[in-house]
Amino acid sequence: MKTALRTCPLCETSCGLRLTLDDAGSVLRVEGDQDDPFSKGFICPKGAALGQLDEDPDRLTRPLVRVDGELRPASWEEAFAEVHRGLGEIMAAHGRDAVALYFGNPTFHTMAGFLYRQPLTQTLGSRNVYSAGTIDQMPKHVASGLMFGDPMAVAVPDLDRTDYMLILGANPVESNGSLCVAPNFKGRLRALQERGGKVVVVDPRRTRTAELADEHLFIRPGTDAYLLFGIVHTLFAEGLTSLDMEVTGLPELRSLASDFTPEVVERACGVPAATTVRLAREIAAAPSASVYARIGTCTAEFGSTAQWLVDVINALTGNLDRAGGVMFAKTAGLEIFRSGQPFATGAWHSRVRGLPEVLGEIPVATMADEIETPGEGQVRALLTVGGNPALSAPGAPRLARALSGLDFMVCVDPYLNETTRHANVILPPPRILQSPHFDFLVQIIMVRNYARFSPPVLPLGQDQRSEASILAKLLLILSGQGPDVGPEVAEEMLLGQLLAAAPGLRDGLDGADGTENILDALLKLGSYGLSLDAMRQAPHGLDLGPLQPRLEEILCTASGKVDLAPAVLAADVSRLLDRLRDPAPEMVLIGRRHLRSNNSWMHNVPSLVGGSNRCTLHVHPRDVARFGLGDRARVKSAAGEVEVSVEATETVMPGVVSLPHGWGHEDSGQAVARSNPGVNANALTDELVVDPVSGNAVFNGVPVQVLPV
Ligand SMILES: Nc1nc2c(c(=O)[nH]1)N[C@H]1C(S)=C(S)[C@@H](COP(=O)(O)OP(=O)(O)OC[C@H]3O[C@@H](n4cnc5c(=O)[nH]c(N)nc54)[C@H](O)[C@@H]3O)O[C@H]1N2
Ligand SMILES: Nc1nc2c(c(=O)[nH]1)N[C@H]1C(S)=C(S)[C@@H](COP(=O)(O)OP(=O)(O)OC[C@H]3O[C@@H](n4cnc5c(=O)[nH]c(N)nc54)[C@H](O)[C@@H]3O)O[C@H]1N2
Ligand code: SF4
Ligand SMILES: [Mo]
């Protein structure tokens, strides 16, 4: 038996784990690491299932290459040679824009995903770069970029010190938190209440977070921007602002907010006018307060407006960049990547729908258009890394059909699933326990500064490649160096770029491989003067202290001040006003997450599915009666139709139905998932509807019809 410490890599929360393994390397037990200064022993059911995920028999152990229409096991040499041939032919015949990239959610967590994403993108030089960002949090980056200059400057609630928290469209008790990394989120909310604070949740469902809160407000889906504007309106109208920094755009903001009286807000959102006024007064009066809004508000038609107004309220009430309000974390290895250049969008536009580039990407919502529409720049090949857009993208069935029509597709993914089944080559990363872990990006959004490094627990087998070396090989192929050059050439290239200004550091690097050397270099160049060695000395993780005010270091708008009314966002307010004239749809669809789920890829672990984690349609009993629903219902939208089991529940508000995403596994190579496939919520979401400012997909507030079967 052997004990190993490591960070759970499954979600943003980054819990420290203590694993017990047998001599063969099988996980016997997973516990929370009590000595981790940040997670302090917290673990969720997914972390507890890490061993089953790690040893999932459906995990691919060898590359697959399509021969005569069929995916067959191949050697790594054969697989890379085929990638070289396939991508090479397309780039030679049609140029680099004909090859698209898609980076999925796990690439935000894996070391390889972080280290190789930019290099792969830059080396390919295609306009067709996509990521899970535009089906998730792009509105937050846009709002932060426009207000603070830096799209990665995400203000996170100072959860452990705040006295008041307004949570919109997030269910951290089940999701464990997002863009706000806080292991044991629930315990931290309870502590907030125990120190006399208040938690208010705004959600069309009475979630587990809402149950815990002091107050829960139902809101008509897709209308959070109105409620937030109503709060801003009240702060001005009642003289409740206590702005304590230099800003631009204050008069413009006041004028924009003037139309959104609490009465207008009530008509749009269903939140009583008196409640909006009270919320504004409470936030202003609290010793410290933080407004926090996630998926329910980001993946909505006015996502960018909502994210902007969240930080407007934080700023107007003196809660931006101060203890107990919302603050900016200080990462151990990423500060050198801050460009200091003011953020802008639209360096190019998507070919078919003219949607603006944001953060070097175009929206996933237009990927199918770019594949299907002939002409110069048409996408003919796709490389996905850790993504399952055939389930997770809006209008997913259309995208899945488009994937099947590609000339060539390469997937770096451990599973044969709804997306990778269309591939010509699948390159599987090794098991979780064979991979190193260091959360680079997640450090940006932690409620306390913290770092922890986990070396691989188990060695690679002879026939395995680390994910970093797989991506390094792809980088070399894209850069024209062919399939036979070793990955260390790419690693040296990355190190050379990183150490261009500090070449003296090169000799002292003491990583076990190129990836560890890059980490060592980043830590040594980083804010805390850390090193890989310091991380090894602290296997339970290093507490780097509470968040500190640091807006001055981060701010890089053209004016050098926080912009409260960025022109791009101000210009979009007329759309919000125009929408007031449209009648509200009779029924709308929203999503939900279950504690034992994680997007599309954890339905293959028996202990994580079943019980209450089922793909059912939540419908209010009144609507069940109104539509005469039985056990099953047909749900129709402008984009498509599904038939699904009905679960009557008063936790969802009347006029709203909720369906979880990530299901629809009938074509999966994951046996457990295939036996309990569920339906794909994204057969109903409409890829033609986006938040136009960020290009983000709209998953919440989708107009639907619900019919008996
Ligand atoms: N257990 C579990 N954890 C996860 C994941 C998972 O799939 N399962 N996924 C991970 C990922 S990728 C992410 S991005 C995070 C997301 O983390 P969260 O943002 O906390 O995600 P959800 O749990 O989906 O919570 C969104 C809430 O918004 C509500 N909602 C829907 N529409 C609206 C609306 O218009 N207005 C308002 N105010 N609320 C609305 C929904 O009812 C839901 O309760 O979770 C991460 N963690
Ligand atoms: N209707 C609706 N749709 C949604 C959402 C919603 O709330 N409602 N949420 C959206 C959100 S927030 C997100 S983040 C997206 C997620 O969208 P995606 O990132 O496209 O989907 P995931 O389901 O996270 O798929 C992850 C993929 O990575 C693979 N994988 C797992 N571990 C590794 C690894 O270590 N390395 C590599 N290379 N691959 C790995 C899995 O096998 C799987 O294929 O879905 C979005 N879609
Ligand atoms: S909350 Fe669960 S899945 Fe997320 S890091 Fe912690 S143990 Fe892992
Ligand atoms: Mo996400």
Q: In this structure, what DSSP letter does residue 685 have?
A: S
Q: 299 in ligand 1 pocket by Cβ < 6 Å? A: no
pLDDT at 335 exceeding the cut of 90: no
Q: Which ligand is nearest to the CA of 172?
A: 1
* Nearest CA, atom 25, ligand 1: 170
User: Structure pTM?
Assistant: 0.98
- Asked if 138-331+553-576 and 585-708 have one fold, the answer is no
Crossing angle of helices 111-124 and 514-525, in 10° steps, is 90
What would you report as the CA-atom Rg of the chain, rounded to the nearest whole angstrom?
A: 24
**Predicted confidence (pLDDT) per residue in 493-551, tens digit:** 999 999 998 999 999 999 999 999 999 999 999 999 999 999 999 999 999 999 999 99
Look at domain 138-331+553-576 and name its CATH class: alpha beta
Three-state DSSP class for residue 506: helix
Q: Which residue out of 140, 442, 593 has the highest number of ligand 1 atoms within 8 Å of its CB and is therefore the one to mutate?
A: 593
Q: 593 in ligand 1 pocket by Cβ < 6 Å? A: yes
CB-based contacts of 198, cutoff 8 Å, min separation 6: 163, 164, 165, 214, 215, 282, 286
pLDDT at 388 exceeding the cut of 90: yes
Going through 187-317 in order, the beta strands assigned E by DSSP cover 198-202, 215-217, 247-248, 290-293
**How would you label 138-154 residue by residue, b for 16+ Cβ within 10 Å and e otherwise?**
bbbbbbbbbbbbbbbbb
Confidence of residue 445 (pLDDT cuts 50, 70, 90): very high
Ligand 2 centroid distance, CA of 104 (Å): 5
Domain boundaries, the chain: 138-331+553-576, 585-708
Q: Are 697 and 650 in contact (CB under 8 A)?
A: no
Question: Going by CATH, does the domain composed of 585-708 fall within 3.30.1300.10?
Answer: no
Task: Please report, in angstroms and rounded to a whole number, the separation of the first and last CA atoms in the chain.
Answer: 54
Residues with CB under 5 A from ligand 4 (ion): 136
Q: Are 196 and 163 in contact (CB under 8 A)?
A: yes
* Nearest CA, atom 18, ligand 1: 170
Confidence of residue 338 (pLDDT cuts 50, 70, 90): confident
Ligand 3 centroid distance, CA of 595 (Å): 10
Residues with CB under 6 A from ligand 2: 104-106, 110, 132, 135-136, 295, 299, 385-389, 392, 412-415, 417, 429, 467, 591, 599-601, 661-662, 681-682, 685, 699
Per-residue pLDDT, 77: 98
Q: Are 47 and 8 in contact (CB under 8 A)?
A: yes
Q: Are 556 and 341 in contact (CB under 8 A)?
A: yes
Per-residue pLDDT, 264: 98
Ligand 4 centroid distance, CA of 105 (Å): 6
Per-residue pLDDT, 105: 97
CB-based contacts of 17, cutoff 8 Å, min separation 6: 5, 6, 7, 8, 30, 31, 32, 33, 43, 47, 50
Per-residue pLDDT, 610: 92
**Predicted confidence (pLDDT) per residue in 446-468, tens digit:** 999 999 999 999 999 999 999 99
Q: In this structure, what DSSP letter does residue 603 have?
A: T
Q: 603 in ligand 1 pocket by Cβ < 6 Å? A: no
**Predicted confidence (pLDDT) per residue in 58-107, tens digit:** 999 999 999 999 999 999 999 999 999 999 999 999 999 999 999 999 99
Q: 613 in ligand 1 pocket by Cβ < 6 Å? A: no
